[in-house]
Amino acid sequence: METKGAKYDGNSKIDTAPISKKDWQDVLEYGSQEQVAKRANFTPLRTKRDAFSFERVLFRDGVLALEEKSSAKVIGNIGAFEIIKADGLVEKNGREVGYALNQDFWGQGFMTEALAALCKLERSKKTSFLQARVYADNLASQKVLQKNGFKFQGDREVFDVFQSNKKILELFYVKMLVQKEERF
């Protein structure tokens, strides 16, 4: 299946599509889950208005909805974002991956499949590399990245979004998509 450039095989359990206002209830469901919000580094959603605001941001940034085929339910999102370097300039050769998944669907391979398709899509766009940041206690997300060929690069302490006086360990992963000789 091909949706907005993301290719899935015939055995795929998910489809992708741009986020839509009609998805607000599903977005509110997964966006209000504390563990989902914490792992994806956003404030949990509480209201219909929160869901619509969140959808606007996701749509603006080109994030795709992940829809479970069997139920047509939006169960999460995935996207590749501009990387802003320390000097304030945009990294031209790479993108940062971000995703969130309804906790009722964790451990079933949905995000591994979605990330594999996103990697293929970004490679077709000649993106040289993808990077991802994940909290050290998020072992499932680390496995998703590793299964998709991302390599651990290092770590750093950052302030917790939920407890501003607390620091947590953030891990940094990178996947090379285009070899140096392919960039020219």
Position 6 confidence tier, pLDDT thresholds 50, 70, 90 = low
CA-nearest of 4, 55, 58, 39 to 144 is: 39
For residue 42, what is the enclosing H or E element? none
User: How many angstroms separate the CA atoms of 2 and 181, rounded?
Assistant: 28
CA distance 85 to 184: 22
More confident residue, 163 or 40: 40
Position 87: which residue type? D
Q: Report residue 122 CA to chain centroid gap.
A: 13
Rounded distance between C-alpha atoms, residue 46 and residue 44, angstroms: 6
pLDDT, tens digit, 9 for 90 and up, residues 27-64:
999 999 999 999 998 999 999 999 999 999 999 999 99
Question: Is residue 3 over pLDDT 50?
Answer: no
Q: How confident is the model at residue 9 (pLDDT cuts 50, 70, 90)?
A: low
Please give the helix or strand (H or E) that residue 144 lies within, else none.
helix 139-147
Q: Are 67 and 101 in contact (CB under 8 A)?
A: no
Which region among 3-12, 120-129, 137-146 has the lowest average model confidence (pLDDT)? 3-12
> Residue 8's pLDDT is what?
55
Q: Note the pTM of the prediction, 2 decimals.
A: 0.89
Give percent of the chain with pLDDT exceeding 70.
92
Nearest to 102 by CA among 92, 94, 110: 110
Structural contact between residues 135 and 143, judged by C-beta atoms closer than 8 angstroms: no
Q: What number of CA atoms fall less than 13 Å from residue 173's CA on the CB side?
A: 19
Least confident of 51-55, 88-92, 114-118: 88-92
Nearest residue to 177 (alpha-carbon basis) of 146, 143, 148:
148
Residue by residue, DSSP assigns 74-102 as EEEEEEEEEEEPTTSPEEEEEEEEEEEE-
- pLDDT at residue 95 tops 80: yes
Query: Which range among 3-12, 47-56, 117-126 shows the weakest confidence by mean pLDDT?
Result: 3-12
Distance CA 93, CA 131 (A): 11
